[in-house]
């Protein structure tokens, strides 16, 4: 099931032309992923405190299709594409109304307290399976 987050484009998100600066789309989808994790019941702060595990972006494939502008109301969608014991691949998009402005395929991995790769937490895999069943 796709997670949806509505955000507003503020002046600080734009360049001199009033168009969203390209790097800010990455911030928008980061917010989408954080809220998606919260929705499926995963508390990132508690996970870090209890196990030392954190998530990191390993890869982003992005396409900028149309510009967003100052004061636009946008919807960020996050959907699971693939899950393995070591990574989660997500498809994310930013839309205005029904028009897709930006798409990304994002690969997330888990790092242990030493900063080295770790298997995904069992709680995340269970939550993703439950989310897929809904």
Q: Which residues are catalytic?
A: 15
- The 10 Å Cβ neighbour count of residue 38 is 12
**How big is the chain, counted in residues?**
134
Sign of the alpha-carbon dihedral angle for 124, 44, 2, 21: negative
**In Å, how far are 21, 69, 115 from 35, measured between CA atoms?**
22, 23, 24
- In this structure, are residues 96 and 72 in contact, taking their beta carbons and an 8 Å threshold? yes
**Separation of alpha carbons 105 and 40, rounded Å:** 19
CA 16 vs. chain centroid, Å, equals 27
């Amino acid at each position: 099931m796709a997670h949806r987050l509505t955000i507003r484009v503020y002046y600080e998100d734009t360049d001199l032309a009033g168009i969203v600066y390209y790097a800010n789309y990455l911030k928008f989808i980061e917010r989408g992923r954080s809220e998606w994790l919260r929705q499926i019941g995963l508390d990132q702060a508690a996970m870090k405190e209890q196990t030392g595990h954190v998530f990191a972006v390993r890869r982003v494939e992005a396409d900028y299709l149309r510009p967003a502008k100052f004061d636009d109301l946008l919807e960020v969608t996050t959907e699971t594409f693939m899950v393995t014991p070591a990574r989660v691949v997500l498809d994310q998009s930013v839309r205005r109304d029904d028009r897709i402005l930006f798409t990304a395929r994002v690969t997330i991995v888990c790092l242990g307290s030493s900063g080295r790769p770790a298997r995904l937490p069992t709680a995340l895999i269970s939550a993703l399976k439950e989310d897929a069943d809904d």
